[in-house]
């Protein structure tokens, strides 16, 4: 992986922690390695209102830091004010799209409200960092539309996510 800034979907931390029963052992390992790489060599983007950081903490135990996802959240908590490790990006609210920077696109109208913050963050960041996604198969359906807006999704567990998508949607 490179040392560029990344947006990390919460499910990457949960998969790395072994908190997703249906993923393969390779997926767990790949998520853990992706988070370790960011801690060693990379940077993370967060919204400046800490919506994402709050979500991370609601689903993990960073105080213990025993699992890879928890260790990553602990690292983010320790480094969120360090501009060498973290970019804090302001997000403006929007009445329909939730965030001003979330793309106005008919193909994204059904995009999960709770996940819009990751897209809005990438879109609002000057570098439009890629979003690391582990296990939410609906993102496969939205990836092409997001690409039209310069937002790239990296599927850390491509085989797993395609298997989930086929099971859930039959395609």
Q: How do residues 121-148 score in pLDDT, each as one tens digit?
A: 999 999 999 999 999 999 999 999 999 9
C-alpha 152: how far from its chain's center?
11
For residue 64, pLDDT beyond 80: yes
Locate 100 and state its tokens.
Answer: 């001003």
**What is the side-by-side order of every strand in the sheet holding 5-8?**
86-89, 43-47, 5-8, 131-133, 153-155
The torsion defined by the Cα of 113, 114, 117 and 120, in degrees rounded to 10, comes to: -20
pLDDT digits (tens, 9 = 90+) for 75-117: 999 999 999 999 999 999 999 999 999 999 999 999 999 999 9
- Closest of 35, 66, 149 to residue 103, by C-alpha: 149
Q: What domains, with CATH codes, occur in the chain?
A: 5-169 (3.40.50)
């Amino acid at each position: 992986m490179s040392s560029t800034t990344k947006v990390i979907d919460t499910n990457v931390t949960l998969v790395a922690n072994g908190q997703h029963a249906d993923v393969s052992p390779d997926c767990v390992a790949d998520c853990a390695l992706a988070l370790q790489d960011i801690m060693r060599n990379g940077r993370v983007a967060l919204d400046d209102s800490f919506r994402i950081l709050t979500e991370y903490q609601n689903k993990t135990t960073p105080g213990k830091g025993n699992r890879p996802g928890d260790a990553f959240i602990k690292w983010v908590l320790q480094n969120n004010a360090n501009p060498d490790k973290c970019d804090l990006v302001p997000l403006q609210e929007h009445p329909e799209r939730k965030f001003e920077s979330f793309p106005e696109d008919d193909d994204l109208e059904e995009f999960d409200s709770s996940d819009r913050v990751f897209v809005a963050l990438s879109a609002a960041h000057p570098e439009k960092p890629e979003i690391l996604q582990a296990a939410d198969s609906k993102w496969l359906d939205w990836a092409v539309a997001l690409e039209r807006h310069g937002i790239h999704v990296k599927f850390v567990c491509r085989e797993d996510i395609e298997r989930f998508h086929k099971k859930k949607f039959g395609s």
